[in-house]
Amino acid sequence: MKNTTRVAVLPEQPVLAASYRVLLFAMALTGVAQMPIFKRYYIADIPGLGWLAKYYLTHALHYLGASLLLVLVAYCMAVYLLSLRKRYVLTGSALVRIALLGAIVVTGGFRVLKNLPGISFSPGFTQFIDIAHLSFMMLLFLVGAAAVLLRWTWLADRNAARIEA
């Protein structure tokens, strides 16, 4: 049986993990809010939640969250590649989550392009990108939930001890 002791690799790890979770929640909330779901089902009528029905506000917040998420991902990639790679290896679940994050970034990039003036895609491609973006996010949520419940980690010590990243 493998050692499943969880150890913090970096002193800032708890802050990074919390930031990642908050950003993903904010991105999911503002992404869904760009669809008129909160207005349609009167959720925006609940005191304090009226901002969820304001498309341009949630759109701007979604872009801000995407920017912060890209910065966080770039920081984690740099730390791993520059200092952790020699001692730790990415786990299978980490590779799946990284692939899903990459797919979300790519489809999100196409959505940003679609919103620029002078750039248009066919309706079929636009629908494909929209559905793919939402589907990848839902898959990331499911894989993330499984990772929490099953205590999957991002990194494994090259000497076989599992750690949390």
Cα–Cα distance, 113 to 142 (Å, whole number): 27
* pLDDT band, very low/low/confident/very high, at 165 (cuts 50, 70, 90): very low
Residue with tokens 């793919």: 132
The pLDDT value given to residue 160? 65
Please determine, for residue 134, whether its predicted confidence score (pLDDT) is greater than 70: yes
- The mean pLDDT of the chain is 88
The pTM of this model reads: 0.84
- Where along the chain do its domains lie? 13-163
Residue 9 DSSP label = S
Angle between helices 13-33 and 123-150 (to 10 degrees): 140
Q: pLDDT at residue 1 above 70?
A: no
The predicted model gives 92-111 an average pLDDT of 95
Give ∠ CA 57-60-65 in degrees, rounded to 5: 120
- Tens digits of residue pLDDT in 36-73: 889 899 999 999 999 999 999 999 999 999 999 999 99
The sign of the CA dihedral 22, 149, 104, 85 is positive
pLDDT of residue 8: 56
The Cα 75–Cα 134 span in angstroms is 25
5-36 pLDDT per residue, tens: 455 566 678 889 899 999 999 999 999 998 88
